Amino acid sequence: MATVLGGHYTVEAPISQGAMGAVHRALDGETGRYVAVKRLLDPTQIARFEIEARLLAQLDHPRVVRVVDHFRDEGNYFIVMELLEGESLQDRLESEGTPGLDVDDVIEWGVQTCEALDYIHEQHVVHRDVKPDNLILGDTGIVLVDFGVAREFGEDAKGTIAVGTPRFMAPEVFSGGHVSERSDVFSLAVTLTTLIAGEPPSYTDRAPLTGRYPGVTATIDSALRGGMEFMSERRIPSAAAFAEALGRPLTKREGAPLVSSLAAAEGAPRSVIENIVRTAAGVFDAAAASIALADRATGGLIFHAAWGAGAREIVGVRLPPGKGIAGAVHQSGEPIVLADCRTDPRFAADVARGTNYVPVTMLVLPLLRHGESLGTLTLLDRRDGEPYGPEDVSKAQLFADLAVSAL
């Protein structure tokens, strides 16, 4: 008897299997389309996984796999992705490598991967597991799949969480350090070196590739070694910079941003208020951020800009005076931090349901000018699954004060 997950995903066959988990091909009974379904293995990370999956579902770029659903089923958590036609670069390496692949092809695939990484990094998303298995080559080129959040989260001896695949992981990730876009650059540089050489380099092997592999120029060799610098601060800092170092600067930016706003706010350019909410989300590791400004006609609030999950739905929403957590902060001029906002009687649950995003933890700051509240800055759901607490308030209020100056 076939296994049915989430009420309408009929599992048919495994796509890939490994120590970190399995991806299965499944038929979506509601759409009639085939999808890839992956199960989270570590039940202690469900909160973090749910937050990340909701954010990944907002991504929209031709070189990034589309996340179409995430759900719980009998205590397990699953993420559903579009099923792509094509082969992974690992499959191509194993079938055609002699022992490696054509350098020109590898560099072209690398630049296409940079297009995907440049987009997701702009949206404050780090892939965490770039490797040949997760780069699918189809009719239109490379598509990046299987974000690291969908993998098992293991703890090292210090209790820190490391996500990724050994030999492709940046040193700071392997040691439980800070994960950033530079971590993905490291993994991509290792990936390209693997495709050229036929196997991953060791952490201690940083000998030049020029002269060893036909087609590897001094420019390419310098870029690969610059991407694999052990110290992240010395590494090529971004996917766009890595593409340029390879001699193929990115010439186009595609994909839908996760930020949305009204045409203008209090005379401030649209780009300013969008950059504020985008930066706030990045600084405070939030799954969503929004700015609501005072509605002088009613005394309530109007959400002018938002980033992340539910951004397009919340922009333009009006709150009557005093309604919701944001309304309470606007009236009092005092910040409110809640570990679980859903249990607070002031929480505007109807507004949250209208955006299809009901958060768990919330931090709301007043935007004060000369002691008067101009509106609020709201941060929702820390990406690590932990709650916002009193220790976050003072730093966030400083950011809110800076936002007022920018506006």
Indicate whether 253 belongs to any domain: no
Q: Do 72 and 91 belong to one domain? A: no
Indicate whether 252 belongs to any domain: no
- Among 82, 98, 121, the domain-final residue is 82
Q: Do 215 and 154 belong to one domain? A: yes
Residue type, 178: H
Sign of CA dihedral 327, 328, 330, 331: positive
pLDDT tens digits, 306-324 = 999 889 999 999 999 999 9
Q: What is the DSSP letter of 382?
A: E
Residue 21: pLDDT band by 50, 70, 90 thresholds?
Answer: low
pLDDT tens digits, 381-395 = 998 889 999 999 999
Indicate whether 155 pLDDT > 50: no
Token pair in block for residue 62: 């031709």
pLDDT, average across residues 155-171? 60
Q: Do 276 and 360 belong to one domain? A: yes
pLDDT given for residue 48 in this prediction = 78
Catalytic position from the list 129, 133, 221, 381: 129
Residue 254 class from Cβ within 10 Å (0-12 exposed, 13-18 middle, 19+ buried)? Answer: middle
Indicate whether 251 belongs to any domain: no
To the query of whether residue 129 is one of the catalytic residues in this protein, the response is yes
State CA 85 to chain mean position distance.
23
Q: Do 298 and 267 belong to one domain? A: yes
End-to-end, the C-alpha distance of the chain in Å comes to 60
Question: For all residues of the chain together, what is the average pLDDT?
Answer: 88
What's the number of domains the chain is made of?
Answer: 3
Q: Residue count of the chain, please give it.
A: 407
pLDDT, average across residues 12-16? 78
- Among 34, 61, 82, the domain-final residue is 82
Q: Do 41 and 91 belong to one domain? A: no
CATH of the domain at 94: 1.10.510.10
Q: Do 75 and 96 belong to one domain? A: no
Q: Do 348 and 392 belong to one domain? A: yes
Q: Is the pTM of this model over 0.75?
A: yes
Q: Do 382 and 271 belong to one domain? A: yes
Sequence-distant contacts of 345-354: CB under 8 A, at least 24 apart = 348/319, 348/323, 348/324, 351/314, 351/317, 351/319, 351/323, 351/324, 354/313, 354/317
Q: Do 93 and 216 belong to one domain? A: yes
Q: Do 200 and 341 belong to one domain? A: no
Domain residue limits at 166: 87-245
Q: Do 225 and 268 belong to one domain? A: no
Element (H, E) at 373: strand 372-382
Indicate whether 91 pLDDT > 60: yes
Radius of gyration of the chain, Cα coordinates, nearest whole angstrom: 23
Residue type, 191: T
CATH of the domain at 27: 3.30.200.20
Indicate whether 73 belongs to any domain: yes
pLDDT given for residue 148 in this prediction = 67
pLDDT tens digits, 328-351 = 999 999 999 999 999 999 999 888
Q: Do 23 and 117 belong to one domain? A: no
